[in-house]
A and B are shown apart, each in its own frame.
Chain A
Amino acid sequence: MSTPVSDAAPSGSSSLSLVFDDADAAVLASVGHGPSDGARAWRLNGEAHRLSLVQGFDRLLSWSSLRGVTRYEHQERTVLRVLREMRGRALLADEVGLGKTVEAGIVLKEYAIRGLARKVLILTPPALRTQWQEEMREKFSLEFEILRSAKDWEASPLLLASLDTAKREPHGAVARRIRWDMVIVDEAHRLKNSASRNWRFVAGLHKKYMLLLTATPIQNDMDELFNLVSLLKPGQLHTYDEYLARYVATLDHRVPARITELRGRLRGVMVRNRRGISFTLPPRRVHSLPVRLTAAERRLYDDVTEFVRDAWGVSSGRLPLPARLTLIVLQREIGSSTFATAQTLAKMEHSPLFGFEEQERLGGLRAQAEAIRDNVKGGHLQSFLRSTDEKVLVFTQYVRTLEYLRRVLEADGYRVAVYHGSLSPWAKDEAVRAFRGDRQIFLSTEAGGEGRNLQFARTLVNYDLPWNPLRIEQRIGRVHRLGQEKEVHVVNLWATDTVEEYLIELLDRKIHMFELVVGELDLILGDLGARRSFEDLLMNIWALKEAEERRAALGRLGESLLKARARYETVKERNDALLKDVSEEAPA
């Protein structure tokens, strides 16, 4: 209990009283008991209190603790608007690539430093959970846990969950019982439909502050904008019927009316930064380097693929998940190097997931892989590197491939900075520093410099291609980002007649993903309409026994991707047209 002291207000007045902490009595009682800590301790006590004071949102407190975050004026302005004017409830609708995640992170950090956000939930698409977790840890020193079980809801003050999981029982009920200081929803256009479980789940959360992040708040029609804004501030766009009457011009709800007035109302709840001149990234040039495998490599690739198809097909969908994942890994590794493959084959050879005959086959494949001492793709990488004086980032998914490449490149006289997930934070920083210094090559696994600024380089090589296109995009995003001033070169090494050729077919030739701004691919893949991940779709095609079937399925997936890209372009144009002046000052 604390003690309110009346502010000499008349009796019955509702004026705010200063409440004194009951713990004051303990401080008073301590006087004279035992030795004093001394004059300096007394002064330091006062200094500690003064240093930790929070004075509204007069300035941003978090900058000095952020790591690897470049200070951009548009982001600072956005954060201050969200804190001061929107009072922590905002739709962050920046164009793709302008750093919505960073803006959300800074807003969160500002509340956290002030002690106003202790229980926080971030809802993301499943594929982005790890990326968010890494970014919050690396840049903001915020340790989010990814939701694994229903216990995590209460146990973890900072929680990351996929919206799909969170809304399902038993999770949904627990989540609704908790009083959240802040809820952040990434790719918030998934809340466009107020009749959906997604929307109802987020609306039902008890929260103080909420940030919705999407570059495209309008996907199909004007209802979606109303639904998003009503989640944050019901009534900001009037009631639904009033909204239709005032701001919607056509019966199909696709054409806005009274646009200036609508934009005015949106400014109370939405920030949309647009790409100004200094935020236009230089172009990317994509170089495709197809490689013909040697006879031994070809034989191994085909034999491994045959094993994978046999195992995948025999089980006809009832394959246990661990076995299924192992087969996917094996097929991905053979696209990277024989060295990565050999290690997995050795493990599989003794795995109870596979029968005796399969284990025998695996043993043979392992011996085949170990007999190959060199990979033709490595030679192509060496040839490419000899043709350039630039600093080059070389990405691979596997540490074994990385070790092989390091050996080859150092033997060639290159000074290589090596970066992978097992390094300590300090060693990672050192690798980046070395690359910034005198190392020409930055050899990295998927953990390649998340959140680290590597845009002093402009050439990157995809030594292998992750099946998750977002991973490819993240690699490119290390150099093709705000601050990059030169044309960026992306070199893709891939072997003909492999899954990787399928990837190139779909991602490069069909939807030209290498020309997209970082972030746009999420929106296209998210619109595929499939419940399965892109990797799963790809694996299912590759696992088909007949070449004809594979070709047809690949064609269908390509068509779906094309349609998704076309839809995205339409949506982007629609959003640009309506929302272009919502932010008064676009970055110059």
Chain B
Amino acid sequence: MSEADSLRVFATALLEDVGAEVRDDGTFLWLAVPEAVQPSLDLPAQACATFDPDRIGEFDAELVAPGSYLLEKLLTLAMRRGRWDVARFPDPPEDWVEKALRAAADLPPGEPFDLVDRNEQALGLFAFRTALTSDEKREAFHLIATTLDGAEGWSVPWPLAEEGLEPAGLPAIGPDLGPAYRRAREVLVGLMREETASFQRISLAALEEEVRRIFRYFDGTVAEVREAAPSDAGDVVRAIEAERDRRLAEALERFEPHAVASLCSVRVVLVPAARIRYRAEDGERVELRVEALTRQVRGLREPVTEAGSARPRGRPRSGTPPRRRTDDRAAGRSPRGPRARSRSASARRRGP
């Protein structure tokens, strides 16, 4: 999809979502804008928008393109709305656990595993925007899923298909998202570690080069001035040094790297989850967790040994990125029905 097409889809969806009537004739969007959002968009009740810069002004059409006034207004409005939501994942097919496990954990076909339990889990989805800035800017968007108790967190791709999610009320655990948010931050910090360090290296290298050149130039100039007129150099040297300091401050301001993150939105999703146990290649019994939304398979850090003792262990064979399979959802509800799941289990706190 081209950039203009993406903008068109976004603008139309947003305007419809805020109650506008939108008619798209292929060149222009003809809009009936509800009174409530007219000030936010700085649009009259009847308005016209275009994605083609050569059609600006025709029928008073306003441009929607990167950097345009109307797009900025649309983006601002969209960012001000939709900051939180609660949804329930509909019942997946019966075999979703096995499919998720084999896809994500690389479990060979036919390899037996034990389903320890099924439950409904509440996940927090935290959308973050990060910006690395110096004299340039690099931004990214991250979606982090966490368990609501903050015990676990992992990155998930956007768009995480949410078609078919059903509206829901906040889970019994209540709206205290503090632990989950803190875990999401930690996950984000980890995700950004390498890029942040690389950005810092590049910015500081540029700063160092600039500072070195400034010192070489101004100090060299001072030396030349002193050599040319040793007795009259005082004022000139002071002026040059003041200019050097000003340039150094300017360089620092230009190249100093900053890394900031801001939370864009939060979504709580009630989702079917399961605990699985199976015997790994080395004979260890491994317990895994998986849920139907992100299908990220999470392994316990301590394997369950025959003797019941634990020793540190890395991630089990799950190194594959999570995969969404929309056909699972389309395949219909579980034959066990919604009541088959333990609703109380969704609120159960689990240790790491």
A interface vs B, CB < 8 Å?
A: 2, 5-8, 15-21, 23-24, 27-28, 30-32, 36-57, 61-62, 64-68, 83, 87-88, 109, 112-116, 141, 179, 203-204, 206-209, 230, 233-236, 238-242, 424-426, 428-430
Known A-B contacts A41-B81, A42-B84, A426-B60; the reply to A32 vs B175 at CB < 8 A is yes
Residues facing A in B69-103 (CB within 8 A) are 69, 74-75, 78-79, 81-87
Q: How many residues of B are in contact with the other chain, CB < 8 A?
A: 96
Known A-B contacts A28-B181, A37-B81, A44-B81; the reply to A236 vs B213 at CB < 8 A is yes
Q: Tell whether, in the assembled complex, residue A233 and residue B213 are in contact, meaning their CB atoms are under 8 Å apart.
A: yes
Stretch of B21-29, B195-203, B344-352 with 4 or more beta carbons under 8 angstroms from chain A: B195-203
Q: Tell whether, in the assembled complex, residue B130 and residue A18 are in contact, meaning their CB atoms are under 8 Å apart.
A: yes
Q: Which residue of B lies closest to A38 (CB)?
A: B85
Task: Give bound CA distance, A58 to B130, whole Å.
Answer: 17
- Known contacts A83-B136, A235-B213; 15 further A-B pairs (Cβ under 8 A): A5-B186, A15-B196, A27-B83, A27-B266, A39-B87, A42-B85, A44-B82, A45-B265, A47-B13, A54-B137, A64-B65, A87-B206, A112-B67, A113-B67, A116-B135
Known A-B contacts A36-B86, A64-B65; the reply to A234 vs B129 at CB < 8 A is no
Nearest chain B CB to A196 CB, angstrom units: 15
Known A-B contacts A24-B263, A39-B162, A46-B158; the reply to A57 vs B136 at CB < 8 A is yes
Q: Tell whether, in the assembled complex, residue A56 and residue B138 are in contact, meaning their CB atoms are under 8 Å apart.
A: yes
Nearest chain B CB to A473 CB, angstrom units: 26
Q: Tell whether, in the assembled complex, residue B130 and residue A114 are in contact, meaning their CB atoms are under 8 Å apart.
A: no
Q: Tell whether, in the assembled complex, residue A18 and residue B196 are in contact, meaning their CB atoms are under 8 Å apart.
A: yes
Q: Which residue of A lies closest to B6 (CB)?
A: A51
7 A–B contact pairs at CB < 8 A?
A19-B259, A21-B261, A44-B14, A46-B82, A54-B139, A206-B250, A429-B55
Known A-B contacts A24-B262, A424-B57, A426-B58; the reply to A65 vs B68 at CB < 8 A is yes
Contacts of A24 in B (CB 8 A): 181, 262-263
Known A-B contacts A18-B196, A39-B87, A87-B206; the reply to A141 vs B138 at CB < 8 A is no
Nearest chain B CB to A94 CB, angstrom units: 24
Task: Give bound CA distance, A15 to B197, whole Å.
Answer: 7
Does chain A have a CB within 8 A of B327?
Answer: no
For B4, B78, B257, B261, the residue with the greatest tally of chain A CB atoms inside 10 Å of its CB is B78
Q: Tell whether, in the assembled complex, residue B263 and residue A27 are in contact, meaning their CB atoms are under 8 Å apart.
A: yes
Task: Give bound CA distance, A238 to B219, whole Å.
Answer: 11
Q: Which residue of B lies closest to A424 (CB)?
A: B57
Nearest chain B CB to A492 CB, angstrom units: 32
Does chain A have a CB within 8 A of B165?
Answer: yes
Q: Which of A48, A83, A233, A236 contacts B79, CB < 8 Å? A: A48
Query: Ordered nearest first, which 9 A-B pairs have the shortest CB separation?
Result: A235-B217, A41-B82, A425-B57, A48-B78, A45-B82, A235-B213, A21-B262, A239-B220, A32-B175
Contacts of A31 in B (CB 8 A): 84, 170, 175, 177, 266, 268
Task: Give bound CA distance, A112 to B206, whole Å.
Answer: 22
Task: Give bound CA distance, A15 to B200, whole Å.
Answer: 8
Q: Which residue of A lies closest to B165 (CB)?
A: A39
Q: Which residue of A lies closest to B193 (CB)?
A: A7
Task: Give bound CA distance, A233 to B247, whole Å.
Answer: 10
For A47, A88, A116, the residue with the greatest tally of chain B CB atoms inside 10 Å of its CB is A47
Q: Tell whether, in the assembled complex, residue B67 and residue A40 are in contact, meaning their CB atoms are under 8 Å apart.
A: no
Does chain A have a CB within 8 A of B36?
Answer: no
Task: Give bound CA distance, A426 to B58, whole Å.
Answer: 5
Q: Which residue of A lies closest to B134 (CB)?
A: A87
Does chain A have a CB within 8 A of B332?
Answer: no
Q: Which residue of A lies closest to B215 (CB)?
A: A235
Nearest chain A CB to B68 CB, angstrom units: 5
Q: Tell whether, in the assembled complex, residue A49 and residue B17 are in contact, meaning their CB atoms are under 8 Å apart.
A: no
Known A-B contacts A18-B192, A20-B262, A51-B6; the reply to A42 vs B66 at CB < 8 A is no
Does chain A have a CB within 8 A of B144?
Answer: no
Task: Give bound CA distance, A292 to B5, whole Å.
Answer: 60
Taken residue by residue from 236 to 268, chain B's Cβ proximity to chain A (1 for < 8 Å, 0 otherwise) reads as: 000000010011001001100111111111111
Nearest chain A CB to B111 CB, angstrom units: 36
Contacts of A208 in B (CB 8 A): 135, 250, 253-254
Q: Which of B51, B139, B193, B217 contacts A53, CB < 8 Å? A: B139
Q: Tell whether, in the assembled complex, residue B67 and residue A62 are in contact, meaning their CB atoms are under 8 Å apart.
A: yes
Does chain A have a CB within 8 A of B30?
Answer: no
Q: Which of A43, A87, A424, A430 contacts B159, CB < 8 Å? A: A43
Nearest chain A CB to B128 CB, angstrom units: 9
Task: Give bound CA distance, A430 to B224, whole Å.
Answer: 63
Q: Tell whether, in the assembled complex, residue B57 and residue A46 are in contact, meaning their CB atoms are under 8 Å apart.
A: no
Does chain A have a CB within 8 A of B232?
Answer: no
Residues facing A in B260-286 (CB within 8 A) are 260-268
Nearest chain A CB to B96 CB, angstrom units: 21
Q: Which residue of A lies closest to B186 (CB)?
A: A5
Contacts of B69 in A (CB 8 A): 141
Q: Tell whether, in the assembled complex, residue A20 and residue B224 are in contact, meaning their CB atoms are under 8 Å apart.
A: no
Taken residue by residue from 165 to 201, chain B's Cβ proximity to chain A (1 for < 8 Å, 0 otherwise) reads as: 1010010001101100100011011101100110110
Q: Tell whether, in the assembled complex, residue A242 and residue B220 are in contact, meaning their CB atoms are under 8 Å apart.
A: yes
Known A-B contacts A7-B196, A54-B137, A242-B220; the reply to A28 vs B178 at CB < 8 A is yes
Known A-B contacts A23-B262, A27-B266; the reply to A46 vs B136 at CB < 8 A is no
Q: Which of A30, A44, A234 contacts B13, CB < 8 Å? A: A44
Task: Give bound CA distance, A24 to B257, whole Å.
Answer: 22
Q: Tell whether, in the assembled complex, residue B266 and residue A238 are in contact, meaning their CB atoms are under 8 Å apart.
A: no
Task: Give bound CA distance, A112 to B51, whole Å.
Answer: 19
Residues facing A in B101-130 (CB within 8 A) are 127, 129-130
Q: Tell whether, in the assembled complex, residue A64 and residue B264 are in contact, meaning their CB atoms are under 8 Å apart.
A: no
Does chain A have a CB within 8 A of B54?
Answer: yes
Known A-B contacts A233-B213, A238-B217, A426-B58; the reply to A116 vs B79 at CB < 8 A is no
Q: Which residue of B lies closest to A6 (CB)?
A: B189
Does chain A have a CB within 8 A of B154?
Answer: no
Task: Give bound CA distance, A478 to B339, whole Å.
Answer: 75
Known A-B contacts A87-B206, A239-B224; the reply to A20 vs B261 at CB < 8 A is yes
Task: Give bound CA distance, A429 to B52, whole Å.
Answer: 13
Contacts of B262 in A (CB 8 A): 20-21, 23-24
Contacts of B60 in A (CB 8 A): 426
Q: Tell whether, in the assembled complex, residue A42 and residue B67 are in contact, meaning their CB atoms are under 8 Å apart.
A: no
Q: Tell whether, in the assembled complex, residue A16 and residue B257 are in contact, meaning their CB atoms are under 8 Å apart.
A: yes
Q: Tell whether, in the assembled complex, residue A37 and residue B261 are in contact, meaning their CB atoms are under 8 Å apart.
A: no
Contacts of A41 in B (CB 8 A): 17, 78, 81-82, 85
Task: Give bound CA distance, A36 to B168, whole Å.
Answer: 10
Does chain A have a CB within 8 A of B140?
Answer: yes
Q: Which of B10, B86, B138, B188 contacts A47, CB < 8 Å? A: B10
Q: Tell whether, in the assembled complex, residue A39 and residue B167 are in contact, meaning their CB atoms are under 8 Å apart.
A: yes
Q: Which residue of A lies closest to B201 (CB)?
A: A16
Contacts of A209 in B (CB 8 A): 135
Q: Tell whether, in the assembled complex, residue A66 and residue B135 are in contact, meaning their CB atoms are under 8 Å apart.
A: no
Nearest chain B CB to A202 CB, angstrom units: 13
Task: Give bound CA distance, A103 to B211, whole Å.
Answer: 28
Task: Give bound CA distance, A114 to B56, whole Å.
Answer: 22
Does chain A have a CB within 8 A of B43?
Answer: no
Does chain A have a CB within 8 A of B216?
Answer: yes
Q: Tell whether, in the assembled complex, residue B68 and residue A5 are in contact, meaning their CB atoms are under 8 Å apart.
A: no
Q: Tell whether, in the assembled complex, residue B75 and residue A48 are in contact, meaning their CB atoms are under 8 Å apart.
A: yes
Does chain A have a CB within 8 A of B235?
Answer: no
Q: Tell whether, in the assembled complex, residue A45 and residue B81 are in contact, meaning their CB atoms are under 8 Å apart.
A: yes
Contacts of A18 in B (CB 8 A): 130, 188-189, 192, 196, 259-261
Nearest chain B CB to A208 CB, angstrom units: 5
Task: Give bound CA distance, A50 to B263, whole Å.
Answer: 13
Task: Give bound CA distance, A66 to B56, whole Å.
Answer: 11
Q: Tell whether, in the assembled complex, residue A426 and residue B259 are in contact, meaning their CB atoms are under 8 Å apart.
A: no
Q: Which residue of B lies closest to A45 (CB)?
A: B82
Q: Which of B82, B178, B213 contacts A43, CB < 8 Å? A: B82
Task: Give bound CA distance, A62 to B266, whole Å.
Answer: 31
